[in-house]
Copies of this chain bind each other. A is one copy, B any other.
């Protein structure tokens, strides 16, 4: 499976509750696309949210995010880590 970091740039003021609900919405349907969201980090001040996931493709990640109501603004395939 490939690894991805996707970025949402339009969630200013996102609360712990809102992020939890958004993440749960992804987890509830992620198996439909063999995607696994592992972590989400949010900066409510700038509205940026970074989501780390594994899955078959960028498109599969986006389909889950779209169905859950929060498409990403940007996605990067992570092929090198440290």
Contact = CB atoms under 8 A, between A and B. Distances in A.
Size class of the A contact interface (CB-based, 8 Å): 20 to 34
Interface string A57-82: 00000000000000000001111111
Contacts of A48: 5, 76
Instruction: Select the residue from A40, A50, A79, A80 with max chain B CB neighbours within 10 A.
Output: A80
Instruction: Select the residue from A40, A41, A48 with max chain B CB neighbours within 10 A.
Output: A41
Contacts of A15: 80
Given A48-B76, A76-B48, A5 B41 contact: yes
This protein's copies in its complex: 2
Contacts of A50: 5, 50, 76
A82 B52 contact: no
Contact of A41 (B19, B23, B52): B52
B43 A76 contact: yes
